Amino acid sequence: MLVLRHGLLVAVIVQLEDESHGDRYLGRWHVEATFDGLPSPVRQVFDDLGEIRSWIERNAASSRPADRSVATPF
């Protein structure tokens, strides 16, 4: 699943459904990748989407946004 914040891709997450993850992780969510200055989580597996959302909001607010200025030709 792609996670957007203010129209920008900030993370890719997946729900762990395969039996190879075992009962402990079945149905939980894993952060596969982060973008746009969002740091990788120390704990990459979350119980539900609400936990991921809270983590993104806390960490995106502290991360420095990328420079989105547009160069104007002379």
pLDDT of residue 74: 33
Indicate yes or no: pTM above 0.85.
no
> How high does pLDDT run on average in the chain?
81
Domain range summary for the chain, segments of one domain joined by +: 2-62
Q: pLDDT tier at 42 (50, 70, 90 boundaries)?
A: confident
Q: What percent of the chain has pLDDT over 70?
A: 82
Q: Which residues contact 42 (CB under 8 A, 6 or more apart)?
A: none
What are the start-end ranges of the E strands in the chain? Answer: 2-5, 8-15, 29-34, 45-46
